[in-house]
Structure 1
Amino acid sequence: MNFKPWKLSFLVALSVSGSAAFAQSAQTAQKSLELERYNEARGALLRQGQSPEAMYELGRLYQMREMPDSAAFYFSKITPNADSPMSLVAAGRAALAKGNEAEAANQFDKAVKATKKKEAFNTLKLIAQAYAESDVKDTAKAIAYVNAAQTANKGKDDLGLMIARGDIYQKSENGGGESMGSYDRALIVDPNSVMANYRKGQLYVRSRNFNEARTSFEKAISLDANFAPAYRDLAEMYYFAKQYDLALSTFQKYMSIAEKTPSTNAKYASFLYLTGKYPEALTEIQNVLKTDPNNLTMNRLLAYSLYENKQNDLALPAMEKYMKMAPANKIIPRIMSIMAKC
């Protein structure tokens, strides 16, 4: 499973005020981000114009979609006051998106210095969350900001900060215990936190504790029946546990509520292949390739599925096409062995 510890809610931490109408729209957009409905969220945010809040959330959106250049572009557009804490935090996030950790730390430190004492917790929390949503592996700086935020909050646990703390510790090799403890603390703050339960499920999957993972995912789903990521991760968990029928039915539930995009369709095609539904996988793969003909994964799975479906006359040219498209470091040895059998 590709764990990305993102999808946190930021509105309560933003120090820039806005109208009630904007706040409501921003909350709607952020909910869409949590549900991984990125096109829906993007539309809602673009309708708000170039407000700092909208640009900040668009930066996060593109970071979640692993498009760092676009993320940095939107973070860099928050310039109504270049010395405001939010602008400096955004500049730090833009640097993180580009992989410039030193510049990010410089901007974050400037943001803290520019923050009034009564707003210190908000700024420190935003910085902690910025690290939580990044690919930074060295967590020392991030944890220092978490601790500073905790101090600024007079030692009181905050839901978003505890989730960020857990996500940061998940980046370290031996951080599982601290991470789980953070999510438990988040649930003391809010026992009905969908995200904290979801995060616990992900952590349990990583430790192969499937019973506890299922309990956490099902709790998240019971709190929000439309929380699509929990269905997807639960389906993957069933696959790891070799419960293929449950895996497929749960993934189909995910597909019924997830945003319809080429990406989600590609995930479904991959899942059909993994669970041995080769004819169905072929149909979905071919549908994805109609709109994204150069998708490397789908071209590889097309060749695999044709072979598994005993259509060797079509599998061989599909494999040859994939070999021409794929960089040398992307070619998987299995495709060579299948080509030899066709």
Structure 2
Amino acid sequence: MNKFKIFSLALVVSATATKAQDINQAKKAIDAEQFDKAKTILKSIIKAKPSDGEANFVLGNVYLNQSVIDSAKIYYNNGLQASDKKNLSYIGLGQLDLDAKNTAAAQANFTLATKDMKKKDVNEFIYIARAYMNSDNPDYKSATDILKRALLVDPQNAQALLAIGDAYYGANNQNDAYKAYRDAFTADNTLLRAKMQLGVLLKGAKSYDEAIKSFNEVIALDANYGPVYRELAETYYKWARNKPSTAKVNLQNAITNYEKYLSLTDYSLDSKMRHADFLILVKDYKQLETVANKMIAQDKVNPRIYRYLGYAAYENGNVDVAIKSIEDFIKAPGNKVIGRDYYYLGLAKIKKGTAADGTVDQAAFDSGLADIKKAVELEPLVVEEFADFGKELFSKKQYAQAAAIFELGASNPESKNYLDDSVYYGISLYYGNASKPKESRDAVALGKADAVFDKILTTAPSYDEAYLYKARINSLLDKDDLIIKNYEEYVAKISAKGAEEVAKPAVAKKFVEAYNGIGAAYANTDKAKAIEYFNKTLVLDPANSYATQSIKALK
């Protein structure tokens, strides 16, 4: 629902008079997501008439929705000193209270904002509802309740209908949201955002082709309405993600529409940052690095730019720039660091410590892994991003490092990669020890591997390969009873699937491994059993030298 916080500012239309016309131009610019233009208009109004409470309040809202809290407070407090509509600024202060989770203070400010309302006024109710929705801690029920009061006073108020549609949408009440948006557009057919939101609902329901048709209907009404192109871009992006066969075409459509959206905004630093966010989504890191460098040239003090530059530089192979940029971002006071920041920092450090032949310096790896663990602490599901990196290490036979990466995913059952990461974690531990001499094997790591496959069998009982790996692991640990138990379990599970399954060459090869393993485990305690299993091997593979030689030795 961040889009409502960023884009659906309180666009309540004022009454007549020259000042009202000016402030409505500002609100139109806000709706078009031309925030720099809106700020310029609002500041000119305030300069001409410092006592204009509504202009101060709306300007405070723009800053608040751009997370420039100090500036928002300045204009709200200025608004309280105004002679005209100073009550509105209590609503802005109320949203700050909601952001701070001080509901009682927020309600006190909302009471001050509404105490002198006339019976037919509804604008304050709409603004308060927006505050509830736009808060860092959104309360859609309270927003809905207060908007119902507004609609009792003015049932055809298009802005109230749009706002209650947003409240229903935020509460995942799609049916009532659809009706409210439809009614809002019926009440005011110039309110393009209401019609656009009908397409947003279709996008959320993954009806991407229908959503695109709906957005094109908005374009037919006004081809210069910028926000609809942003919605189109997001729709094409989601369609590409959900249907990979369309990815190439739809990602290009996404980029084209986002560029169109940008051309219709004011190319402010804020809009460029939203563009950067979108480039991360579509993984266009070349363009992202270009955009980030241009933003640094425009504004050298906004540390968020260094996040973008760091991400892009890593993806483009510029690890030194990536490390410095992300560290500069993390060190900057007041920045809200997210898991992905440490994720990229950790990967960049590991990549920097990787030699041309693919070997990884352990100190560099450990430093990078420490950052990756910080990423997981901040954002547990960031583990879903690690799979490809872990597999790359595994493919290079860097099993210890691969195990350290896969352990993170194997520790989070909520991850979509949980089972896959668990399997790779277990086999990384196994292969990391399989080629070592007995005295060099890590018994603790092998014990962890065995336990991992037990967990896998609890979650996915049909994963029969787990019994093979458990048998192999216990073979490295010289635990004959567990070797026999797990190989027999594997044979029984596969045999239960029928002769056709057993006859498959790959399965027969694994049966030979199992029979030889069981035979070897019995060799020191039950020669007859050992010979029995070696003979089973020879039924499947008459030329198997290990079984033949073992039988001779046992006799």
Q: TM-score, normalised by structure 1?
A: 0.82
Aligned to 1:36: 33
Report if the CA contact (8 A) 1:8-1:34 is conserved: no
Partners of 2:307 and 2:216 in 1: CA distance:
33
User: Which residue of 105, 108, 111 maps to 1:106?
Assistant: 108
1:301, distance to aligned residue in structure 2 (A): 4.0
100-109 vs 129-138, which deviates more?
A: 129-138
Question: Aligned to 2:210, which of 201, 209, 212?
Answer: 212
Question: Alpha carbons of 1:96 and 1:298: their partners in 2 closer, same or farther (altered >3 Å)?
Answer: closer
Cα gap change, 1:293 to 1:158, in 2 (>3 Å): same
Instruction: Give unpaired runs (5+ residues) of structure 1.
Output: none
Identify the residue that residue 349 of structure 2 maps to in structure 1: 339
Tell which deviates more after alignment, 261-270 or 161-170: 261-270
1:39/1:286 Cα in 2 relative to 1: closer, same or farther (>3 Å)? same
Q: Which residue, out of 240, 256, 259, partners 1:249? A: 256
How many residues are paired up?
A: 328
Instruction: Report the residue type matching 2:36 in the other structure.
Output: N
**1:127: how far off?**
3.2
| Aligned counterparts of 2:280 and 2:134: Cα–Cα separation in 1 | 31
The Cα shift of 1:276 comes to 4.8
Instruction: For 1:176-187, list aligned pairs within 5 A.
Output: 176-187=174-185
d(CA) in 2 for partners of 1:218, 1:162? 22
Supply the distance in 2 between the matched residues of 1:305 and 1:41 (Cα, whole angstroms): 31
Instruction: From the CA coordinates, give the structure whose radius of gyration is larger.
Output: 2
Deviation at 1:94, TM superposition (A): 1.3
Deviations 1:83-123 (A, max 9, x none): x8x43342133121243432232233344442233x34344
Q: Which deviates the most, 176-185 or 156-165? A: 176-185
Q: 1:302 corresponds to which letter in structure 2?
A: L
Partners of 2:251 and 2:23 lie apart in 1 by 39
In the alignment, is the contact (CA less than 8 A) between 1:131 and 1:168 conserved in 2?
A: no
CA distance in structure 2 between the partners assigned to 1:169 and 1:45 by the alignment? 30
Shift of 1:221: 2.6
Taking the TM superposition and a 5 Å limit, the aligned residue runs for 1:104-143 are 104-117=106-119, 119-143=120-144
Is 2:269–2:295's contact at 8 Å kept on the other side of the alignment?
Answer: yes
1:226 maps to what in 2?
224
Unaligned runs of 5+ in 2: 241-249, 332-336, 353-555
3-state SS, counterpart of residue 259 of structure 1:
coil
The reply to whether residue 259 of structure 1 matches residue 266 of structure 2 is yes
Residue aligned with 1:9, SS: coil
Tell me the amino acid that sits aligned with residue 87 of structure 1: K
Distance 1:300 1:113 in 2: 45
Q: Is the 8 A contact 1:69 1:98 kept in 2?
A: no
| Counterpart in the other structure of 2:89 | 90
CA, structure 1 residues 129+299, in 2 after alignment: closer, same or farther (shift >3 Å)? closer
**Structure-2 separation of matches of 1:245 and 1:104:** 45
SS in 1 for 2:45: coil
Q: Provide the aligned C-alpha RMSD in A.
A: 2.9
8 Å CA contact retained: 1:128, 1:164:
yes
Could you say what secondary structure the match of 2:56 adopts?
helix
Q: CA deviation at 1:140?
A: 3.2
Evaluate the alpha carbon distance shift between residue 333 and residue 81 of structure 1 in structure 2; reply closer, same or farther with a 3 A threshold: closer
CA–CA distance in 2 between the matches of 1:294 and 1:121? Answer: 41
| Deviation, structure 1 residue 234 | 1.4
* Mean CA deviation greater in 239-248 or 138-147: 138-147
Q: Is the 8 A contact 2:322 2:345 kept in 1?
A: no
Give the 3-state SS of the residue equivalent to 2:156 in structure 1.
coil
Does the 8 A contact of 2:94 with 2:110 survive in 1? no
> Cα gap change, 1:175/1:191 in structure 2, threshold over 3 Å: closer, same or farther?
same
Instruction: Supply the distance in 1 between the matched residues of 2:141 and 2:275 (Cα, whole angstroms).
Output: 38
Distance in 1 separating the partners of 2:289 and 2:299? 15
Write the deviation string for residues 316-341 of structure 1: whole angstroms up to 9, x where unpaired: 34324423542665434244234323
Q: Which has the higher contact order (CA 8 A, sep 6+)?
A: 1
Deviation at 1:165, TM superposition (A): 0.6
In structure 2, the CA distance between the partners of 1:63 and 1:308, relative to structure 1 (3 Å rule), is closer
1:92·1:106 contact (CA, 8 Å) conserved in 2? no
- Distance in 2 of aligned mates of 1:333 and 1:109: 45
| Pair 1:21-2:21 in alignment | no
Aligned residue type for 1:52? G
Alpha carbons 2:326, 2:345 under 8 Å: kept? no
User: 2:4 maps to what in 1?
Assistant: 4
- Give the 3 Å change call, closer, same or farther, for CA 136–212 of structure 1 in structure 2: farther
Q: Report the Cα distance in structure 1 between the residues aligned to 2:67 and 2:191, rounded to whole angstroms.
A: 26
Q: 1:76 to 1:248 in 2, by over 3 A?
A: same
Which of 311, 326, 332 is the matching residue for 2:330?
A: 326
> 1:193–1:333: structure 2 CA closer, same or farther, 3 Å change rule?
same
Equivalent residue letter for 1:182: A
Identity of aligned residues (%): 26
Which has the higher mean CA deviation after the structures are superposed, 242-251 or 285-294?
A: 285-294
Q: Is 2:73 aligned against 1:72? A: yes
Displacement, 1:198?
2.1
Please state whether the residue corresponding to 1:4 is helix, strand or coil.
Answer: helix
State the one-letter code of the partner of 2:159.
Answer: G
Residues 207 and 147 of structure 1, relative CA distance in 2, 3 Å threshold: same
